[in-house]
Amino acid sequence: MFFRENPVPARELSVNLRSPRAFALQFAFVSFLGAVVYFAWPKHVEAGRLVGTGAAQNLFNLFFLGQYFLLAILAPTFAAGSITGEKERKTYELLLASPLKPSMILFGKLFSSMAYIIVLILSSLPLMILCYLLGGIALSEIARAYIVFFFSAVTFGLLSLACSSYFSRTSSALLVSYLVILPLALVCVALTRTDPAAEDTVTRDFISIAILPPWCLAIWTIVTALVTRRLLRPPDVGSEGKDVVDEEEEMKFAIGVVIDRDLFPDKLFAPAKRNDLMPDGTNPVLDKELRSEIFSQGTLMLRVVIQVSMLLSIPLMAVFLFWKPDQASNYIAYIIIFNMLVGPVFSAGSVTGERERKTLPLLLTTLLGPGRIVWAKLIAALRVSTVLTFLLTEQLFLAYIFVPQLQAVFWRLAVDLLIIAVSCLATTSIGLLCSALARKTSVAMITTYLSILVLFVGPVGAKMYFQRTIDSRIEEDRIEVFSVLSPFAAVFSLPEANSDETRASAGTGDHAVKASSSWMIVGGVSLPLWSVFLLFYPPFCAVLYGLTYLAFRRRWWRAGIE
Amino acid sequence: MKLKYASEILFATAFGMALARVGFLATGRHGRPFGIPPSEKLALLLGGFVTGFTLVEFIALLIERAICRGELRGFGIGRKSWSIAGLYVILNTFVYVIYFMIDHKINQRSTPVTPGFLLDRLVMLRSRSILGDLSWALVALWITARLAGDPREPTADAREILGRVFAGFVVGAAIAIQAMITFGY
């Protein structure tokens, strides 16, 4: 019944699998994994010769990490838009009015989004077999890896579907999905990955085969029950997911943090709706964006984001700021990751959102020039993204005051904050450019995330990859140049405080610090990497802003509305 | 819960963690080895954390009282817990500072009272008493409220609820540490 008489997977599969996006993604997926294997392939290995266990395990481990990382990123791109897409296309009510049971709808949506992910997993199998041919890896190990992939992929898909059923916009569902999935993915990778140094493979196998599946099954059961209940009695039917949410009504039933627009710090990112006339000289688009537009669909997404980020920050600050202050950079990295997820949400939908709501023609008939419109969109998105990100920085001040090792590098606090601020500017600028270029918010969001991932994580990932691979075919120095694009590379290039053990054993005192390791030569002058990062991004963002202006002007302003 | 209060909790947690670290490291600096029993380690960590968390929440309570003087009704058990815990920490500190200052001035015995020294000694020496004496004071407060027939507040706000949770945490931590000591840990 779930397969033969279910029209949802038939329709979704034909749409998903025939789309150019499906082909492009599969091509990118296999190419990326192929590149991982190619560059890590041990040199001078002739056909039919086996290499040592270490080299094969290293390659297998990289392959596992790369594939798991891609799965965690790709699963929400299909599943998070499956129900919100219906809401945005105004077909949600038709779907619910059909004689299909909620469980069949859910299964259909899950199957259609997971089928593609499973196709991706299977398409990587030949590459995995290549690793097997090197020797040193048991078939059971490959089977274990695929069990982990399967259970993780379905769990990620179901969680994304749940987000999709709770939110009315794909961008919100996508953001919350990532926020929930990425910590889970990190924990899962840490527990189940193949570490060549670790001899205790029994525990890892036990976790992969005996612990992970029951936990995943429990999550599937709970999430399925929640989503089917919501599909059976949908609270958002009738509005087609586009009506403005009454905030007072929403706050009555809100759990956890609520947003009160009259209070500090809430009014920094969500100022109260205006009930008087705008003063002269005010940019009306900026006023509209901040006071009415960004949170017109309710504050549920924002509240979830704030609560999850704050909860995650507690264990992270305990470990990286107060227990091991020599690893304080990891906490800054967490804040930047948070901004990478949140920043694009408010900018990537700026222009495409107007188009989808059919308010772009209205906007273009006003006396405002394209420059003022684009500037207002940038400032509104930047303000919200920056305030939300900086809510996580108050702990930093306390750590730098109370922890002696961090007191010794107090100036680092200013640089950390600057790097975070520049990252906020970069994510917002990239999101706005993608929004001006794309036609749909979901496309703009995914393009923004991919661009940010390539810029921010790519250089660090590539460097780590080439450091780990044996007989690498590309010199590490060539990769180092791209580190200037990554805020993570900038943060980790800063001098670190000494650990408690080092201070105690060497008697170096509070003022000794580990020197910065990364320097770059720019115009004959040797500069630390973090300063090159800080010098590079503001002009780069200005260029992005110029491109956004041109794209908006050419694509929407001059061309008119289709 | 308002966002302002959520940020305040995060700040209080960070301050608590900072004091827990200070107390734990102070044990090593003041001649006590790191090889102390697990119960004492836990007492130091939790005592420092509770001290820091309490101080921030008590100061916030004072600010709230000063700003909303006319609007606030009487304190519930949660706010009373914050108040008692905060006053306990502050008065305890005050007495300690006076003792050291007098001892240094008159008897020329103790070292001068610098902020760093004070922070170290306070968190280190008072952890046990914060988790011991304070927890029983909070239990006594709850019993007194029940005996007096204080009405349960149906619309308790986040600060009130967190105060009750905090009191429960302190009592639970004190019992856990006592149990560890009893069983030889």
In tens, the pLDDT along A216-226 reads: 899 999 998 99
CA distances A187 to A182, A184, A220, Å, are 9, 5, 18
**Which has more pLDDT, B165 or B68?**
B165
Query: Are residues B180 and B39 in contact, defined by beta-carbon separation less than 8 angstroms?
Result: yes
* pLDDT reported for residue A332: 93
Inter-chain CB proximity B17 and A317 less than 8 Å: yes
Inter-chain CB proximity B17 and A321 less than 8 Å: yes
Residue A307 contacts B where some CB pair is shorter than 8 Å:
yes
Query: Are residues A332 and B31 in contact, defined by beta-carbon separation less than 8 angstroms?
Result: no
| Tokens representing residue A488 in the block | 């993570």
pLDDT band at A426 (very low <50, low <70, confident <90, very high): very high
Inter-chain CB proximity A317 and B22 less than 8 Å: no
pLDDT band at A539 (very low <50, low <70, confident <90, very high): very high
Strand, coil or helix: A520: strand
How many beta carbons lie within 10 A of that of residue A291, not counting itself?
A: 18
CB-nearest partner of B15 from A258, A265, A398: A398
Q: Which residues, in sequence order, are CB contacts of B50 under 8 Å at separation 6+?
A: B16, B85, B130, B131, B134, B169, B170, B173
* pLDDT reported for residue A250: 64
The beta strands (E) that lie in A320-447 are given as none
Q: What is the nearest CA distance from B21 to chain A, expressed in angstroms? A: 6
pLDDT over 70 percentage in chain B: 79
Burial class (CB in 10 A: 0-12, 13-18, 19+), A282: exposed
How far is it, in rounded angstroms, from Cα A231 to Cα A330? 40
Mean pLDDT calculated for residue range B54-59 = 91
How far is it, in rounded angstroms, from Cα A463 to Cα A467? 6
* pLDDT reported for residue A241: 47
* pLDDT reported for residue B12: 92
Residue B63 contacts A where some CB pair is shorter than 8 Å:
no
CA distances A287 to A1, A277, A278, Å, are 52, 11, 8
How many beta carbons lie within 10 A of that of residue A466, not counting itself?
A: 18
Interface test with B, best of A252, A258, A338, A387 (most B CBs within 10 A): A258
* pLDDT reported for residue A526: 79
Inter-chain CB proximity B3 and A313 less than 8 Å: no
> Could you tell me the residue ranges of all domains in chain A?
7-232, 247-558
CA A142 to chain centre: 28
**Which has more pLDDT, A20 or A477?**
A20
Query: Are residues A170 and A76 in contact, defined by beta-carbon separation less than 8 angstroms?
Result: no
> Could you tell me the residue ranges of all domains in chain B?
3-182
Query: Are residues A172 and A81 in contact, defined by beta-carbon separation less than 8 angstroms?
Result: no
Side-chain-side CA neighbours of A417 within 13 Å: the count stands at 14
How far is it, in rounded angstroms, from Cα A412 to Cα A401? 12
How far is it, in rounded angstroms, from Cα A522 to Cα B51? 50
How many beta carbons lie within 10 A of that of residue A254, not counting itself?
A: 16
How far is it, in rounded angstroms, from Cα A436 to Cα A424? 18
Per-window interface: A 395-414 vs B, CB < 8 A: 395, 398-399, 401-403
Q: Which H or E element spans position A521?
A: strand A519-522
Question: Taking 90 as the threshold, does the pLDDT of residue A562 lie above it?
Answer: no
* pLDDT reported for residue A247: 64
A and B: number of Cβ contacts within 8 A: 65
How far is it, in rounded angstroms, from Cα A187 to Cα A434? 31
**Which has more pLDDT, B106 or A500?**
B106
Residue A315 contacts B where some CB pair is shorter than 8 Å:
no
pLDDT band at B120 (very low <50, low <70, confident <90, very high): low
pLDDT band at A511 (very low <50, low <70, confident <90, very high): very low
* pLDDT reported for residue A67: 82
Question: Taking 50 as the threshold, does the pLDDT of residue A414 lie above it?
Answer: yes
* pLDDT reported for residue A541: 94
Residue A500 contacts B where some CB pair is shorter than 8 Å:
yes
How far is it, in rounded angstroms, from Cα B69 to Cα A175? 41
3-class SS string, A261-323: CCCCCHHHHCCCCCCCCCCCCCCHHHHHHHHHHCCCCCCHHHHHHHHHHHHHHHHHHHHHHHH
Listed in sequence order, the DSSP H helices in A484-554 are: 487-492, 500-506, 529-552
Name the region of A43 (left: φ>0; alpha: ψ -120 to 50; beta: rest): beta
How far is it, in rounded angstroms, from Cα A330 to Cα A319? 10
Q: Which residues, in sequence order, are CB contacts of A230 under 8 Å at separation 6+?
A: A165, A166
The dihedral over CA atoms of B6, B11, B17, B18, expressed in degrees to the nearest 10, equals 180
Residue A306 contacts B where some CB pair is shorter than 8 Å:
yes
Mean pLDDT calculated for residue range B35-43 = 76
Inter-chain CB proximity B14 and A260 less than 8 Å: no
Q: What is the nearest CA distance from A402 to chain B, expressed in angstroms? A: 6
Closest CA to A386 of A429, A354, A352: A429
Burial class (CB in 10 A: 0-12, 13-18, 19+), A345: buried
pLDDT over 70 percentage in chain A: 83
CB-nearest partner of A394 from B1, B2, B7: B7
Q: Kindly report, residue by residue over A308-341, the tens digit of the pLDDT.
A: 888 889 999 999 888 888 888 999 999 999 999 8
Query: Are residues A489 and A460 in contact, defined by beta-carbon separation less than 8 angstroms?
Result: yes
Mean pLDDT calculated for residue range B84-96 = 84
Residues of A in contact with B12 (CB under 8 A): none
* pLDDT reported for residue A108: 85
Interface test with B, best of A338, A393, A402, A500 (most B CBs within 10 A): A402
At A254, give phi and psi (nearest 5°): -70, 140
Q: Kindly report, residue by residue over A349-391, the tens digit of the pLDDT.
A: 888 888 877 788 888 888 888 888 899 999 999 998 999 899 8
Residues of B in contact with A264 (CB under 8 A): 4
* pLDDT reported for residue B127: 64
Helix, strand, coil shares of chain A, percent, nearest 5, are 70, 0, 25
Mean pLDDT is highest, among A179-183, A522-526, B11-15, B33-37, for B11-15
Mean pLDDT is highest, among A125-139, A497-511, B41-55, for B41-55
pLDDT band at B126 (very low <50, low <70, confident <90, very high): low
Query: Are residues B1 and A266 in contact, defined by beta-carbon separation less than 8 angstroms?
Result: no
How far is it, in rounded angstroms, from Cα A486 to Cα A483? 5
Mean pLDDT calculated for residue range A472-491 = 77
Place of tokens 């306070």: B122
CB-nearest partner of B14 from A256, A266, A317: A317
Question: Taking 80 as the threshold, does the pLDDT of residue A502 lie above it?
Answer: no
Question: Taking 70 as the threshold, does the pLDDT of residue A504 lie above it?
Answer: no
Among A206-215, B33-42, B172-181, which stretch is predicted with the lowest mean pLDDT? B33-42
* pLDDT reported for residue B110: 62
Q: Which H or E element spans position A389?
A: helix A370-390
Global pTM?
A: 0.81
Residue A2 contacts B where some CB pair is shorter than 8 Å:
no
**Which has more pLDDT, A466 or A252?**
A466
For chain A, give the mean pLDDT.
80
For B1, name the nearest residue in chain A, comparing CA atoms only: A257
* pLDDT reported for residue A295: 67
* pLDDT reported for residue B29: 54
For A266, name the nearest residue in chain B, comparing CA atoms only: B3
pLDDT band at A432 (very low <50, low <70, confident <90, very high): very high
Question: Taking 80 as the threshold, does the pLDDT of residue B62 lie above it?
Answer: yes
Helix axes A53-79, A170-192, angle to 10 degrees: 160
CA angle B84, B87, B88 (to 5 degrees): 80
**Which has more pLDDT, B125 or B79?**
B79
